[in-house]
Amino acid sequence: MNIQQLNRIGQYTSFAHLLLHNLIISDFLFAGDLRIISTTQENKGRLEIYHNGEWGTVCDDGFENVDAAVACKQLGYCSGVAVAPSAVHHGVATIWLDDVNCNGSESKLLNCPSNDGNHNCQHTEDIGIHCFLSCSTENNGNLRLIGGATNNEGRLEVNFYGEWGTVCNMQNTGSALVACRQLGYCSGVQLPSEAVNASYGTAWLQNVRCSGTEEGFVNCSSVFNPTTCAQPYDVGINCTQTCLNAGDINLFGGKNENEGRLEIFLNNAWGTVCDDYFENIDAEVVCRQLGLWGGIVIPAAAVDNGYDTIWLDDVQCKGTENRLTNCSYRGSPVSCNHGEDIGVKCFVNPPTEDQGILRLVGGSSGNNGRLEIKLYNEWGTVCDDSFENVEAAVACRQLGYCSGHVLKSTVVDDGNGTIMLDDVDCLGSEDRLLNCSYDSYTGDCGHQHDIGVYCSFECPKSGTLRLLEGSNKNEGRLEVYIQDTWGTVCVNNFDTIDATIACQQLGYCSGNAVLPNLVNDGTGTIWLAGLLCSGIESRLVNCRQLDSVIQNCRSYHDVGVSCSLNCPSAGKFLHERL
């Protein structure tokens, strides 16, 4: 019995038949015999060919779907497609074939033109094939939901050629709507990636995009490219019998179901909203319509671009509306592009009476550490962007202290959870941090930027000095307390006389200026510049200063001092000034 006769034994329609077939011929190998090497599915994997008495691989050069179809038919399947080397395990034996070029009528792969035994390939170019279990297209495009807590939700799977596989990456809300309608529901939404059970089988479709009006899921725009979908991109959906109404909204593509690109259902299709004039007050209305609490804007640059119609532009809500379509807006057509699609983040928990309270976490004692704030019944951190000593003083006063200064993010432990505030900007007179100006959107700030503060019960007098971030307590960046906040001193005109006055005020006898490149840059206001101390002043703020000089000062001009208990010789100051 030869291999051709064996191939005629029945019509193999199951994996069991194929396995038996392989066992029968294991002792009767012929040149050109094929096999699939796989760790997951018997009909998909690296293609190997028996040649010159040993198994070897096939190079991907020129290997296309028509070549895969010939190989699959030889193995007893009806047809198949090529699988890229990146999606199969690399072989280790001889690479037997290269530049395979079948016309589709061949009964064996070895009958196709190729560079038999000659190649310029490596095993990173080993081709794979995916053979179809059935060539019937009757059930192609059928859908099912797998692994959900209820029958109406789970991982979305689609059937092609007798095999169930997943959908890799849906790009808009309309896709979930079409899938749910095909499954017999009225509407639906995509599940967050973390709510979808992993699948390691075939991903039949990639980058699906439906307008929402298609009759079937396979009628949507997509890429048919059987492969394995990298987690967490296997799509899951939640379907409902509740039908959509004009003006219904959804958040798509975010890390959680309460955030993402804003989409709105109008004219029987989902579309996006332009960011022109869209502010936090409009986000509040969106979140209220979704049954959630406060909301903030996610800028267009921080959300994935949409693909469908941009339905709304120039949205301007008063804040009392219950639906976004009750706000003032300009409808389609609009002058926006999808690079301007707005996003929204909603808070799940309602505000509480302790909204905005502060705490310090992870410090060496109770008066220092990472600054955290409570919003919507959730503790979160504060970004260091623009956060300076004036903001630290406000935070410390709110915490019951008298003053405070910044602990840079590099010296505090990284937090977790939500980063609540960014770009905090206080005047210094506020009694609560929330009364300062700030940005609620923090998507461009990571926890490595969490700010900390050091608080003190000591209430400095105006003009009080301190040294910070020096290698010893008698040296460091010079700071002065004015108008209830700490600030720095500019290096312009600052000399040994000024340094000595500062050091004498601090309890030393003399001092020397330390140039800005040798001290860490400070934060907050630069209070003093262009000092002209005579040498007899008791406090640095008593010295004359050139007010015009301060306009040219920046934080990288902050001066430091190094103080000493050694006193200067008589007449030294007069000599230096002259």
Question: Would you state the pLDDT for residue 14?
Answer: 38
Pair (336, 373) in one structural domain: no
In a domain, 91, yes or no: yes
Closest CA to 112 of 84, 74, 85: 74
Measure the N-to-C terminal CA separation of the chain; round to a whole number of Å: 115
**Domain tally for the chain?**
5
Backbone angles phi, psi at 71, to 5 degrees: -60, -45
- Calculate the average pLDDT of the chain: 89
Report yes or no on 567 lying in a domain: yes
For residues 374 and 326, membership in a common domain is answered with: no
Please check whether residue 552 is in contact with residue 510, taking contact to mean a CB–CB distance below 8 angstroms.
no
Which of the four pLDDT bands, split at 50, 70 and 90, describes residue 17?
A: very low
Helix (H, G, I), strand (E, B) or coil at 517: helix
Task: Give the mean model confidence (pLDDT) for residues 451-471.
Answer: 90
- Domain assignment present for 283: yes
pLDDT > 90: what percent of the chain? 67
What is the pLDDT at residue 569?
63
* In a domain? residue 54: yes
Using DSSP bridges, classify how beta strands 465-468 and 452-456 pair: parallel, antiparallel or unpaired. unpaired
| Residues 504 and 477 placed together within one structural domain of the fold | yes
Q: Give 231's pLDDT tier (boundaries 50, 70, 90).
A: low
Only one residue has tokens 């190998």, namely 29
Confidence (pLDDT) at 413: 95
Flag whether 37 is in a domain.
yes
Tokens of 510: 């003399």
Peptide bond into 232 cis (omega under 30): yes
Does pLDDT of 18 surpass 50?
A: no
Classified as helix, coil or strand, 456 is strand
Tell me, yes or no, whether 553 and 496 share the same domain: yes
pLDDT for position 13: 36
Cβ distance 141 to 157 under 8 Å? no
Domain check: are 318 and 284 in the same one?
yes
- The residues that bridge with 55 in the sheet, in sequence order, are 50
Instruction: Provide mean pLDDT across the span 262-267.
Output: 94
86 with 152, same domain: the answer is no
152 and 218 inside one domain: yes
Alpha helices in 468-557 (DSSP H): 496-505
Which comes out higher in pLDDT, residue 568 or 22?
568
The 10 Å Cβ neighbour count of residue 299 is: 15
Is residue 232's pLDDT more than 70? Answer: no
pLDDT tens-digit series, residues 350-396: 888 889 999 999 999 899 999 999 998 889 999 999 998 889 989 99
The CATH number given to whatever domain includes residue 470 is 3.10.250.10
Which H/E stretch holds residue 155?
Answer: strand 153-160
In a domain, 138, yes or no: no
Q: Structural domain of residue 262, as residue ranges?
A: 249-346
Choose one of 208, 240, 272: the last residue of a domain. 240
Task: Indicate if 47 and 108 belong to the same structural domain.
Answer: yes
* DSSP output for 248-274: -EEEEESSSTTEEEEEEEETTEEEEEB
| Per-residue pLDDT reduced to its tens digit, 269-287 | 899 999 999 988 999 999 9
In a domain, 352, yes or no: no
Assigned domain for 136 exists: no
Residue 50: strand pairing partners: 55
Determine the pLDDT at residue 22. Answer: 46
* SS3 assignment, position 167: strand
Task: Assess whether 303 and 408 both reside in one domain.
Answer: no
Position 560 pLDDT exceeds 80: yes
Average pLDDT score over residue span 549-557: 89
Among candidate residues 456, 476, 511, the one where a domain is terminated: 456
Both 281 and 377 in a single domain? no
Domain boundary among 209, 240, 271: 240
**Are residue 478 and residue 511 in the same domain, yes or no?**
yes
Residue 538 has pLDDT above 90, yes or no: yes
CA-based nearest residue to 58, from 125, 131, 130, 120: 125
Q: Are residues 323 and 291 in the same domain?
A: yes
